[in-house]
Structure formats: C-alpha cells, structure tokens
Chains A and B, each alone.
Chain A
Amino acid sequence: MNRLERLIDEARREVEDNTFAAVRAWKEEEPGRACVGFFPVYVPAELIWAAGALPVAVWGGGDRIEVEMADARVQSFICSISRSTLELGLLGHLDFLDGMLFGSLCDVARNLSGVWARNFPDTFVDYLHYPQNLRSEAARGYYREDLERLGAALGGITGRTPGAAELAAAIDLYEEQRALLRRLAAVRTEEPWRLGLEEQQVLVRAAGRRDPRRHNEVLREVLELLPEREVRHKDGVRVVLEGSFCEQPALELLRTLDQAHCFVVASDLARGLCWFKEPLRRSDDPWSDLVEAYFVHAEGSVVRHFSPSERTERLLARVRDSRADGVFFCTAKFCEPAFYDFVLHKRALDAAGIPYLAVEFEEKMSSFESIRTQAETFAESILFFADEEATA
C-alpha cells in the first residue's frame, strides 16, 4: 500500500468505525476538549469549532449496525439514518458527545431532536431553525440571532462563547477545508478514474469527524499525490448523482458505480459538508458571513426552499458544468424530500432530453447486483445513443 492509499485507508477505517475510537482518542489527547455531534443535513461546523468543540457528523450507522432498540422508538417507515443514528446513541457509542444538534431541514430530523432530548436527558440538545422565506427582509436578522443564540448555548457547555475573532478564524479553517474538498471533487470531474468515488467520499466523510487542522493536512497531501498516481484512462459515462444529500449510500454502492463505468462527476453526497460551490464572500462581520453562506452560497437543494425552477435550473447547470451525460438519482428509501424533488427534476430532464436513472438504497443493503446491472444498462444505453447520434 503506498502513501496515498494508506491515507485513504486510514480515513476509511475511521469513517466506518461506529464506536468513534479516533474521535474519542482526539478528545482525550488534551484536557478540556469537547465534541458536539450534528445530524444532517447542515449545521455550520465553524460555529461549533469557534465555541471550542469538534463538530462530529453523526450520520447513521451504515451497514454495520443492527437496529433493535431504536425500533421501538422510530417506526419502520422512516428513513434508516434516523433509526440507526438513534441506535448508535442507545448503544452508548455517542457517549463522548457533549452535545447534539439538529436542524429544521426535514420533519424527520426536526422531530428526532425531541426523541433525542427525551432519550438522552443528560446531553445538551439544540435545534437550529433555517429560514425558508428567503424573500423576507426579516429572515437574515432572525437567522443571525438564532446563530448567536446557539453560539452562546454552545459556549455554555464548553465554557468558550464564540466572539467575532474566534468565529472568523473558524470560518477561515473550514473555508480552507471546503476549498480542498472542492479540489478533490474537481479531480473526479476531470479524471474520474484517478480517484475512486468511494475514495473521494471517505475523505469527505472523514471531514465530518476529524480535527479540521489535521484533515486539511491530509487533504493537501492527497491532492499532491494524486497527479502522480499511476492510472489508466477508462471509458464510461459521466453522471451527476442526486438525492443522497442526507443518508449516505454504502461505500460498496459507490464502488459499484465506478465498476459499472458509471462515473459520478458531481454529486450532492454529504451535502452538508460541502454545500457551497464557491468561496464565501467575507466581510468584517463573521456572523453575517455565516448568514450569507446559507442565503447566498448554498447550492440548490431540496433542504432549502428555492423556487422550483431555480432548483431545477441549478441541477441542469451542474449537468452542464460537469459535462455529464445523465443524472443518477440515488435516493435513500423513505426520504420524502428527495422523492418530491425527483418529480420536478424528472420533468425538467425529460424536457431537456437528458437521460436519468433512479434507484433507492438503504443503509442495510447488502447486495448491489441489481444497482450494478441498472447502472451498466444505463451507461450502455447512453453510449449507444451517443454512437447513433454520431453516425446519424
């Protein structure tokens, strides 16, 4: 295993570890360190860091957990991430967390905050409201006040209420990280065979649970090593993956897509960690920068209200910008927001003559054969029509 593979492998082992051993070790390294978890989709990580705690993305247990205790608390027709995340908590795997945050991005996440508060009465649980009336002149002010309130509440558990200076420094750090993650994504867009989708995603997911200073080093090194990697150009189709903004597909599923030569060149995977497609506009007021991040820089997604045409146009722009041949809707079973979005996107894609394929996944899925076959058929049909067009 070379250096590059070792770095990726280490990230993989960490993100696959439901006991969060590496995060626990980080916390114990220095006295006074704190960790605050957050459920997807988005929570401004910089606010948590500025309050002196490590933001930890608590995004389900993947295929490495049996949902038993959570079964009695969340019904079976609810997405698996909500159930497996609760199971992680009930198993005690999250007992190192000093707090847990939820946001208003869907009713499941919202209601789960209450279930969490009842089941873990000794944990600090908070809830951030994301404005959905983006036209209102009052919305920015409201959101800002809510961020300040949350900052103070976090300060209450860490003893370090973030001021402007801490917040600005934290935004710097996460901006650096997002820029690195964007560069990583660009590798996929340009030469998808150079970095596997699964490899890219373990590096993204690791950003959700590592000290950002350390992970930025890793990302930098990976980016340095990637151009030297010995690879072979592979033929395949280029697709935009859409619909996995919250619950994450198994790594095996991501590998399957590369194997099926269905190359994901842009995606909304782990949306909350890389929601901004360009650097944030900065001012001398970091609170307002965080507000603008959500209002202005958030890429089109169903977890924030956009006019439907705007959201769809943004998807079409993603297809264009990444020179994709089609769209691969990859939706968590029972994820309502994604399902609603699908219908509107589908209409627009039909109108634009862009091919798409829709599949559903579950955390617990163990066989990916059907997805592989569908992806292969999809890729073949795109290549076939491209040939026909070329000869016509």
Chain B
Amino acid sequence: MNSPYQHQGSGQKIQKQLLTDWYRHLEQAPERGEKVAYLFISGNIGELLQACGFHLVYPEVNALQCGIKKVAGPNILAAEDIGYSGDVCGYVKNDIGLMLSGNRMPHGTTLPKPDLLVCNYAGCATYLRWFEALAEFYGAEMVVIDVPYLRGTEGPTAEEVRYVERQLRELVAVCERVAGREFDPAAYRQAIDRTVRSEDLWVQILESARHRPSPIDAYFEAVFFMAPIYTMRGTQGCLDYYQAVAKEVEERIQAGMGPVAEEKVRIVMEGPPAWPHFRKFWEMFKKWGAVTVASTYSKVGGIWDLGFRHDPDRPFESMAEYMLGCYTNRNWAMRSQLIRGYLEDYGADALVIHSVKSCRSFSVGQADLREQFIREFEVPTLFIESDLADPRYFAEAQMKNRIDAFFEALEHRRLTAGV
C-alpha cells in the first residue's frame, strides 16, 4: 500500500545508510593506513579531527547501541570480571567488555583500535577515567582537552574560551604527528560551514514541538534524530539528513500527526533514556498520551536552541564556546533555568526526571532538582530511577506503577481543576 505521505521515514532511511557507510569506512581504515581517533560526544570536536584525517570512534555511541541491542549486559559482566565495580558507569564497562571480546559490534563491524584518544573532558570526569583505562589497555596516546565547568549563569567567560581555544590549537600539532599528515584548515572551515546549516535545521526540528499536537517526541524520537549532529556533524551526509527530517516534520505538522494517536499530556524530560529497555520505557508514557516536548538528553552533545552556532570565521574559538556550553558542563542553576524555560516555552504540563545510576554527572543534583520544581516552582514532577546501560537496574513493575500513579494523579488534578 502506498503511504499518503511523501517524506515519512526518509530520515531514518538516510541515517541507516549514513551509519552503514560510516562503519564500513571505519572498519577499513587500518587497511588503508588511515588513523583512528576515539572521542566523546559532549563537546566533541569531530570536524577538527576529521580535518586532520582521522576516522572517529565514539565509545558512548557503541555503548548505546550495545544497550539497545541487548548485549550491554554481557559486556558489563565481562568488565566486572576483570575488577570493575558494580557501581561504576555502565557505559565504561560496556566499552571495556566490548574491547575484551574483540571489539565486534552487534551489527557486525569490528572496530579498529585507537591511534589517538582525545579526551574532550567536557561535563564528565568519568571521561578521564575511561580513556585512562583505554590508554592503558591499548597502549595508545591520550590527550585531554580540559574544559572548565561553568560558573554563574552567564555562560563561559572570555578567559575560559581562550583557554580551551589554546588547547585546540595545541591539539592540531599532536594530530599532525599521529596522523602523519597536515591539518587542512580549508576543510575544517568548510565542515564548520555545513555544521552551521545542520544546526539551524536541528533547532527547527526541536522547536517544532511547540506545536499542538507536537509533531515529534523530543525525547524518545529526538534521541535518534540527534545521532548525526553528534557523530558526523560537518559532513554533507549529516546536512542531507536534517534536510530530510525537517521535511518529514513539516509534513507531520501539516497533517496534524504526532508520535501518539492523541496528545494528552506534554512533558519535559530530564536525564538519559533506559537504553536496554527503550521500547518498554517509551510505551509506559505513550499509553497515557504523554508526549515529550523538550528534553535535556537531546542536548548532551551540544545546545543550539539558546542561540549558539559554530562560526566558520572563528572555527577554533566557536568550537571552544561550543564545548564549554554543553549540557552537563552547566552548573545546576543553569540546568534548572533551562528546564524551567522549556516547561514554559513548550507549554508542558509536567517534568519527568529519569535518574540513571551510571551517570553521576547527570544524576547528582537531580533529586534536589525535584525538590526545587515541586516546592519552589510547583510543577508536577515525576522522579524515576534505572540505568542507561545496565539492564539489571530496570525494575519494570515498579517503574510502571510510579508512572501510572503519576499520570493518573495528573489527570485527576486536571479534571478537578476543570482544565
């Protein structure tokens, strides 16, 4: 049967192709004598490393994929077997477990070893510990880009930007040495130029959730929409992807179509998803007609909806600004302000906090945030706990009960308030 819609699903198709090509190139890199850099998502500097000739591996993305494909559990156990505690980040353990079993991803790709570990230390101290371990296990060189945590609520200071920018410039020399080729400033600039265009489209997609009904789920769908802008920003493929998704979203708006049959509750989500039980987790919200209209997790790699854009005329400086501004590098006053803004701007009815045990960077302070939103701002707030990698921490029945009770109460409140 022919779909009455022209654009639905086209983004997904492109993304699939992009990822297939990406992994194929990556896998073949060693044969071609090309170098591989590992780096993190938050505040990543993909454009810069690609302009130095590196193929990129994002261990967090591998962990996420292993989570969804349900192989994170065994990987985590393998890491625990060599001494990792039950209480450390599951992403790290997944990666170590993956390495121990030969780095074969669930989709079949064998990941090449790192020639350079670029620890873009933005927002998470575990990043340092993670790459220190990889440096030890692979015997690979590690560099840190030190990104100071933000103070105050005004965003980064000029000194902070200068400090990070200096380090990025220093990094170029390291990359040239390891990659054995010169950095290509023109390619870097060009990539940044494409980045900016992708960023505009990405913001347009995120902001479509202001519509009623929202055409997208800004959490359960956005976490897939965000993949290209976090991993292959600056490439033509990434730009093509966002053009396709923007059309898809536009079409949904025209048709009054959204992620659930009938939008009943609009929520803002804070915290990462439960990857190992993703579908189940989403269903628990869908059944109440709950649609996420804004989320913080879709901003882990960078925040553009507050106005920031990379700048091809200031490629290093704007990269530094970008790194400093990513979500978990913001202090709690800023995070809370951002969430409050989302609740208002997107006309949300409630806040849902999903606190994951793995990630202290996200979680420490979330319980306090709940206190603040309930008591100070009087926003209905649901607090649930599980994990983003470790399937053992998902207590399905308990989670479901809490979610049901919350939405029931919300519904009741609305009925009695007559809204």
B376 CB to closest chain A CB, in angstroms? 9
B100 CB to closest chain A CB, in angstroms? 12
Which residues from chain B contact A342 at a C-beta distance below 8 Å?
Answer: 83, 85
Kindly identify, within residues 359 to 416 of chain B, every residue whose CB is under 8 Å from any CB belonging to chain A: 360-361, 363-368, 371-372, 385
Q: Are A72 and B367 in contact (CB under 8 A)?
A: yes
Which residues from chain B contact A74 at a C-beta distance below 8 Å?
Answer: 364-365, 367-368
Q: Which residue of A110, A126, A311, A334 has the most chain B CB atoms within 10 A of its CB atom? A: A110
Which residues from chain A contact B366 at a C-beta distance below 8 Å?
Answer: 75
Instruction: Assess whether A7 is interfacial by the CB under 8 Å rule.
Output: no
Instruction: Assess whether B25 is interfacial by the CB under 8 Å rule.
Output: no
> Which of A78, A108, A305, A344 is the one whose CB lies under 8 Å from B128?
A305
Chain B interface residue count: which class?
35 or more
A126 vs B152: C-alpha distance when bound (angstroms): 10
A68 vs B163: C-alpha distance when bound (angstroms): 42
Which residues from chain A contact B332 at a C-beta distance below 8 Å?
Answer: 111, 113-115, 117-118
Which residues from chain B contact A112 at a C-beta distance below 8 Å?
Answer: 364-365
A346 vs B166: C-alpha distance when bound (angstroms): 36
**Chain A interface residue count, Cβ-Cβ cutoff 8 angstroms:** 55
Known contacts A110-B149, A133-B167; A73/B371 CB under 8 A? yes
Q: Are A107 and B124 in contact (CB under 8 A)?
A: yes
Instruction: Assess whether B227 is interfacial by the CB under 8 Å rule.
Output: no
Q: Are B368 and A115 in contact (CB under 8 A)?
A: yes
Instruction: Assess whether A145 is interfacial by the CB under 8 Å rule.
Output: yes
Instruction: Assess whether B104 is interfacial by the CB under 8 Å rule.
Output: no
Instruction: Assess whether B121 is interfacial by the CB under 8 Å rule.
Output: yes
Q: Are B85 and A339 in contact (CB under 8 A)?
A: yes
Main secondary structure on A side of the interface with B: helix
A346 vs B368: C-alpha distance when bound (angstroms): 36
B364 CB to closest chain A CB, in angstroms? 4
Kindly identify, within residues 339 to 380 of chain A, every residue whose CB is under 8 Å from any CB belonging to chain B: 339-344, 346-347
B320 CB to closest chain A CB, in angstroms? 11
Kindly report which residue of chain A lies nearest to residue B82, judged by CB atoms: A343
A113 vs B163: C-alpha distance when bound (angstroms): 23
Which residues from chain A contact B135 at a C-beta distance below 8 Å?
Answer: 307-308
Instruction: Assess whether B14 is interfacial by the CB under 8 Å rule.
Output: no
Which residues from chain A contact B146 at a C-beta distance below 8 Å?
Answer: 131-133, 136, 139
Instruction: Assess whether A142 is interfacial by the CB under 8 Å rule.
Output: yes
A347 vs B130: C-alpha distance when bound (angstroms): 16
Known contacts A133-B143, A133-B145, A343-B133; A104/B125 CB under 8 A? yes
Instruction: Assess whether A337 is interfacial by the CB under 8 Å rule.
Output: yes
Instruction: Assess whether B144 is interfacial by the CB under 8 Å rule.
Output: yes
Q: Which residue of B124, B162, B364, B372 has the most chain A CB atoms within 10 A of its CB atom? A: B364
Which residues from chain A contact B52 at a C-beta distance below 8 Å?
Answer: none
Q: Are A339 and B87 in contact (CB under 8 A)?
A: yes
Instruction: Assess whether B136 is interfacial by the CB under 8 Å rule.
Output: yes
Q: Are A340 and B360 in contact (CB under 8 A)?
A: no
A334 vs B87: C-alpha distance when bound (angstroms): 6
Which residues from chain B contact A132 at a C-beta distance below 8 Å?
Answer: 121, 128, 144, 146
Kindly report which residue of chain B lies nearest to residue A334, judged by CB atoms: B87
Q: Are A111 and B148 in contact (CB under 8 A)?
A: no
Known contacts A137-B170, A339-B85, A339-B87; A75/B367 CB under 8 A? yes
Q: Are B159 and A336 in contact (CB under 8 A)?
A: no
A337 vs B124: C-alpha distance when bound (angstroms): 12
A-B CB contacts (within 8 Å), total count: 153
Q: Which residue of B83, B84, B145 has the most chain A CB atoms within 10 A of its CB atom? A: B83
> Which of A82, A336, A343 is the one whose CB lies under 8 Å from B83?
A343
Q: Which residue of B89, B162, B332, B365 has the most chain A CB atoms within 10 A of its CB atom? A: B365
B165 CB to closest chain A CB, in angstroms? 9
Which residues from chain B contact A111 at a C-beta distance below 8 Å?
Answer: 332, 360-361, 364-365
Kindly report which residue of chain A lies nearest to residue B335, judged by CB atoms: A114
B4 CB to closest chain A CB, in angstroms? 47
A120 vs B252: C-alpha distance when bound (angstroms): 47
Known contacts A75-B363, A334-B87; A107/B368 CB under 8 A? no
Q: Are A117 and B333 in contact (CB under 8 A)?
A: yes
A42 CB to closest chain B CB, in angstroms? 14
Kindly report which residue of chain A lies nearest to residue B123, judged by CB atoms: A107
B79 CB to closest chain A CB, in angstroms? 9
Instruction: Assess whether B279 is interfacial by the CB under 8 Å rule.
Output: no
Q: Are B87 and A73 in contact (CB under 8 A)?
A: no
B122 CB to closest chain A CB, in angstroms? 11
Instruction: Assess whether B65 is interfacial by the CB under 8 Å rule.
Output: no
A375 vs B151: C-alpha distance when bound (angstroms): 44
Q: Are B87 and A336 in contact (CB under 8 A)?
A: yes
Q: Which residue of B92, B331, B336 has the most chain A CB atoms within 10 A of its CB atom? A: B331
Q: Are A337 and B371 in contact (CB under 8 A)?
A: no
Kindly identify, within residues 102 to 149 of chain A, every residue whose CB is under 8 Å from any CB belonging to chain B: 104-108, 110-115, 117-119, 126-127, 129, 131-139, 141-142, 145-146
Instruction: Assess whether B357 is interfacial by the CB under 8 Å rule.
Output: yes
A210 CB to closest chain B CB, in angstroms? 30
Kindly report which residue of chain A lies nearest to residue B124, judged by CB atoms: A107
Which residues from chain B contact A72 at a C-beta distance below 8 Å?
Answer: 367, 371
Kindly identify, within residues 70 to 102 of chain B, every residue whose CB is under 8 Å from any CB belonging to chain A: 82-85, 87-89, 92
Q: Are B331 and A340 in contact (CB under 8 A)?
A: no
Q: Are B129 and A136 in contact (CB under 8 A)?
A: no
A347 vs B132: C-alpha distance when bound (angstroms): 14
A349 CB to closest chain B CB, in angstroms? 11
Which residues from chain B contact A381 at a C-beta distance below 8 Å?
Answer: none
B107-150 toward A: CB 8 Å interface, digit per residue (1/0)? Answer: 00000000000000100111011101101100000111110110
Instruction: Assess whether B355 is interfacial by the CB under 8 Å rule.
Output: yes
Which residues from chain B contact A385 at a C-beta distance below 8 Å?
Answer: none
Which residues from chain A contact B85 at a C-beta distance below 8 Å?
Answer: 339, 342
Q: Are A344 and B144 in contact (CB under 8 A)?
A: no
A113 CB to closest chain B CB, in angstroms? 7
Which residues from chain A contact B357 at a C-beta distance below 8 Å?
Answer: 77
Instruction: Assess whether A309 is interfacial by the CB under 8 Å rule.
Output: yes
Q: Are B166 and A118 in contact (CB under 8 A)?
A: no
Which residues from chain A contact B331 at a C-beta distance below 8 Å?
Answer: 113-114, 117, 127
A118 vs B363: C-alpha distance when bound (angstroms): 16
Known contacts A73-B371, A305-B128, A308-B135; A138/B163 CB under 8 A? yes
Instruction: Assess whether A302 is interfacial by the CB under 8 Å rule.
Output: yes
A307 vs B119: C-alpha distance when bound (angstroms): 12
Q: Are B133 and A308 in contact (CB under 8 A)?
A: yes
A240 vs B366: C-alpha distance when bound (angstroms): 37
Q: Are A305 and B360 in contact (CB under 8 A)?
A: no
Which residues from chain A contact B159 at a C-beta distance below 8 Å?
Answer: 142, 145
Instruction: Assess whether A27 is interfacial by the CB under 8 Å rule.
Output: no
A74 vs B360: C-alpha distance when bound (angstroms): 11
A134 CB to closest chain B CB, in angstroms? 8
- Give the 8 A-B CB pairs with smallest separation, nearest first: A114-B332, A133-B146, A340-B129, A111-B364, A138-B166, A339-B85, A129-B148, A73-B368
25 A-B pairs whose Cβ atoms sit less than 8 Å apart in the complex:
A72-B371, A74-B367, A77-B87, A77-B357, A107-B126, A108-B364, A111-B364, A113-B331, A115-B365, A117-B331, A118-B372, A129-B148, A132-B121, A132-B144, A133-B143, A137-B166, A139-B167, A146-B148, A302-B129, A305-B128, A308-B132, A308-B136, A337-B129, A343-B82, A346-B83
